[in-house]
Structure 1
Amino acid sequence: MPTSLLAQVLRRNPGEPEFHQAVGEVLESLAPVLAARPELADAKLVERLMEPERQIMFRVCWTDDRGETHVNRGFRVEFNSALGPFKGGLRFHPSLNLGIVKFLGFEQIFKNALTGLGMGGAKGGSDFDPHGRSDGEVMRFCQAFMTELSRHIGDRTDVPAGDIGVGGREIGYLFGQYRRLTNRWDAGVLTGKGTGWGGSQVRKEATGYGNVLFTAEMLRKRGLDLAGLQVSVSGSGNVALYSIEKAHALGARVVTVSDSDGYVVDEKGIDLPLLRHVKEVERGRVRDYAERRGSSARYVPGGRVWEVPADVALPSATQNELDADDALALVRNGVRAVSEGANMPTTPEAVRIFEEAGVAFGPGKAANAGGVATSALEMRQNAGRESWSFARVEQELADVMRRIHDTVYETSERFGQPGNYVVGANIAGFERVADAMLAQGLV
């Protein structure tokens, strides 16, 4: 069945390789559960899951500071709402297209299901590039984007959040326009808000923190401790920065960061305050960090960060950044665990290499679920008009990540593949959504 279903996806969704890859990876895992529970196959739940409930694509017109008109394309793919309102981020990046949004939304179904916090899966965004744009230009774009998106969202319908290119500034402009259009203060309609106006503590840290916590659980299951291990992190954005922070807090030493131009290896361990200043204050590149850091840091232009020997690798940049050659290099250098901070950063060939080598591999739909889990905690605070402390939210996040790990591991054991987190995550997420869909009938 998986082969015929994938052929169906390829036929009905041409020219969308990222979506094909995401669906294919899930289908490979589902044969055991469909054989054990034929009622799920009979109801064609897999076919229904692969088809979004709603795909929204719209024109976004805005003017720059010189008065010139620009036209971008906006997207929102509402994939599945069986477990709760649609939930997923908005990405502003010039490479964004419908296939990428669908891949992200499809992954989000399983990720949100694994949290156990009652959220459906969705994703959205635009091919708008906020880099180099003034605050006024970003504001005008966000207002135009929200003017259309507002028709489709709500705290009990669809709750967007931030993603690549959509940070606190963009969320603020989007929320302000939503408030103007609706004449309502619906704090729960967007997450990732500022802590002074309905946002949650730990939200910006959550994806990076959560991935490191999941990694620590994988290692603990093998009798290992993250403390004292050398860690390689890719990227230098939000996920990477807070992965470094949490890894250092747990006693590991992170030695790399990267961007699209190259990577830095710092034998003393990444100086996080300096990196933050370069990235967040100066809006600089990782080569600027290397120049400031001194003799311990070396910048490698155009290199592959996975060339650096590490006990743990945390791909935290973008999809398909870690390929088969990278995986072979990491295995040769003795990597023990790889865990995805980004969405689908590891190619299927690389995943197979890690599995065959016995490397613990944490798929993004489980390992980087901390961000959406904390968004759900933000929604809970909004509903109760509460504001929780940093310590409380961080503890709630740690509990969620531990539960996700245990659920995924126990599911992999139940289906005869103990420690295969890809199989465990796909089946556990699928079962939760499929049971809800079965109970609710043909909708």
Structure 2
Amino acid sequence: MTGIDEKLQPIFAEVVRRNAGEPEFHQAVHEVLESLGRVVAKHPHYLDLALIERICEPERQIIFRIPWVDDHGKVQINRGFRVQFNSALGPYKGGMRFHPSVNVGIIKFLGFEQTFKNALTGMPIGGGKGGSDFDPKGRSDGEIMRFCQSLMTELHRHLGDQTDVPAGDIGVGGREIGYMFGQYKRLNNRFEAGVFTGKALAYGGSRARTEATGYGNTYFVQAMLQKRGTDFDGKTVTVSGSGNVAIYTIEKVQSFGGKVIACSDSSGYVVDDAGIDLDLLKEVKNVRRERISEYARRRGSQVHFIPSDKGSIWDVPCQVAMPSATQNELSGKGARALVANGVIAVGEGANMPSTPEAVRIFQEAGVLFAPGKAANAGGVATSALEMQQNASRDSWSFEKTEERLATIMRNIHDTCHETAEEYGAPGDYVLGANIAGFVRVAEAMRMLGVI
């Protein structure tokens, strides 16, 4: 329990005992508790009211069976999850993840992180997360539709625009959200647009939602760099992943004058010294749904593809690194390589992509580090803007939505920066984000009584 204040160590020990076999959840709780020693020293009533213990315990955990029939007529069984973590600030809000690695521990870690991330946006939304161990790769549209309909047949009773509002995450894009929302609408016999976000524009979606997480991460890192008297212009950047978060991170970095020279998927990574050709990447990944090696093949001999068992994207020298794929993808080894190669800033586009060792290495080296709960909050912030548009039966322009997103991200950056200074750790965005998010949730819970 290194790094946790002695008053908080029993709380962490109890979290580990009650949530055995859930290392990602333990890691997420540990990372927040490390920051709270300064808070309880200044505000001991948080200990007296057991607010920290309550925040670490989800309000509700739903696990259910998902039977569905594949294209060969064979019955398949998957497991579904929805963890409704905290509703002190508003209805539960958080994405659905479809990936074979999904289990209750991963969903709980994501829901825990989401609670503080949503609080940092300043929007009236609580924290939740969900998903399934279903793997959409290689499945036909018909199979994905039948799976989504079966999932929603069970989950629909736990959702509502004032109760719990899911969105997308890994493995869940516009297609999957459409199938889930369609089944929800059918079962409830009403068009409740605000119950899902990330919807297509044709039935109530928000412009800029697809771009929001990547754009938001870039806005946050730009604000960090500006605090140091610099910006993205002329800097080399690596972005892990090649899904929506990575693609729109690349797009916004390029608009700020940065040169993204590497991106990846689970099969490996590409290095393009001339700068990633965004149109080609979008075609390969969004249209053709192919591996990143196809980008290298079509781009030509000047681009190198390195399989995942032959190296890491973090070996590529860069000035800014933006991990945007999945949890714990950036290890201590990768962090040491980045520091040795002169990285000056890291912005987490994914949820908890850097291991605790990696974060420590960056902070000890004086690297600007933006934690995911702050830096990637643009996605959920724009989801809240989508809910706002749905509630008012309105539709905003891309420019208006992006302007709101940019303002929200600058406010999150400033809140984290100012909170870190207030608690005696200037420049520590991890501590600033953890404390600011925690205080907002804890104060709401305190006012609502023992709930």
Structure-2 residue corresponding to 1:269? 275
Superposed CA RMSD: 0.6
Q: Which of the residues 243, 266, 269 maps onto 1:237?
A: 243
Structure-2 residue corresponding to 1:431? 439
Structure-1 residue corresponding to 2:407? 399
Report Cα offsets for 1:113-167 as digits up to 9, x if no partner.
0000011000001111111111111111101100111110100000000111110
**Where in structure 1 do 4 or more consecutive aligned residues deviate above 4 Å?**
none
Amino acid at match of 1:394: E
Amino acid at match of 1:291: R
Deviation (angstroms), 1:245: 0.3
Q: Which of the residues 340, 344, 347 maps onto 1:336?
A: 344
Structure-1 separation of matches of 2:190 and 2:322? 41
Structure-2 residue corresponding to 1:323? 331
Structure-1 separation of matches of 2:141 and 2:101? 21
Q: Which of the residues 384, 387, 407 maps onto 1:379?
A: 387
Structure-2 residue corresponding to 1:389? 397
Structure-1 separation of matches of 2:83 and 2:287? 34
Structure-1 residue corresponding to 2:253? 247
Structure-2 separation of matches of 1:295 and 1:312? 25
Give the gaps of 5 or more residues in structure 2.
1-6
| Other structure's SS at 2:134 match | coil
Structure-2 residue corresponding to 1:351? 359
User: Does residue 310 of the first structure (1) align with residue 318 of the second (2)?
Assistant: yes
Amino acid at match of 1:228: G
Greater CA drift, 151-160 or 274-283: 274-283
Deviation (angstroms), 1:295: 2.9
Structure-1 residue corresponding to 2:427? 419
Amino acid at match of 2:95: G
Structure-2 separation of matches of 1:26 and 1:268? 40
Structure-1 residue corresponding to 2:78? 72
Structure-2 separation of matches of 1:93 and 1:136? 18
Greater CA drift, 271-280 or 393-402: 271-280
Structure-1 residue corresponding to 2:126? 120
Structure-2 residue corresponding to 1:103? 109
Structure-1 residue corresponding to 2:143? 137
Report Cα offsets for 1:32-54 as digits up to 9, x if no partner.
01110111121111000000000
Structure-2 residue corresponding to 1:34? 40
Amino acid at match of 1:381: Q
Structure-1 residue corresponding to 2:4? none
| Other structure's SS at 2:123 match | coil
Amino acid at match of 1:420: D
Structure-2 residue corresponding to 1:205? 211
User: Does residue 287 of the first structure (1) align with residue 293 of the second (2)?
Assistant: yes
| Other structure's SS at 1:265 match | strand
Q: Which of the residues 156, 177, 182 maps onto 1:150?
A: 156
| Other structure's SS at 1:379 match | helix
TM-score (norm 1): 0.99
TM-score (norm 2): 0.98
Report Cα offsets for 1:361-403 as digits up to 9, x if no partner.
0000000000000000000000000000000000000000000
Structure-2 separation of matches of 1:247 and 1:344? 21
Structure-2 separation of matches of 1:419 and 1:120? 27
Deviation (angstroms), 1:261: 1.6
Structure-1 residue corresponding to 2:182? 176
Report Cα offsets for 1:57-97 as digits up to 9, x if no partner.
00111101111101110000000000000000000111100
Amino acid at match of 2:162: R
Structure-2 residue corresponding to 1:4? 10
Identity %: 66
Structure-2 separation of matches of 1:39 and 1:191? 37
Structure-2 residue corresponding to 1:278? 284
Q: Which of the residues 163, 166, 170 maps onto 1:160?
A: 166
Structure-1 separation of matches of 2:246 and 2:8? 35
Structure-2 separation of matches of 1:207 and 1:84? 21
Structure-2 residue corresponding to 1:301? 307
Structure-2 separation of matches of 1:373 and 1:440? 24
Structure-1 separation of matches of 2:240 and 2:344? 17
| Other structure's SS at 1:79 match | strand
| Other structure's SS at 2:109 match | helix
Structure-2 separation of matches of 1:239 and 1:2? 35
Structure-2 separation of matches of 1:271 and 1:33? 46
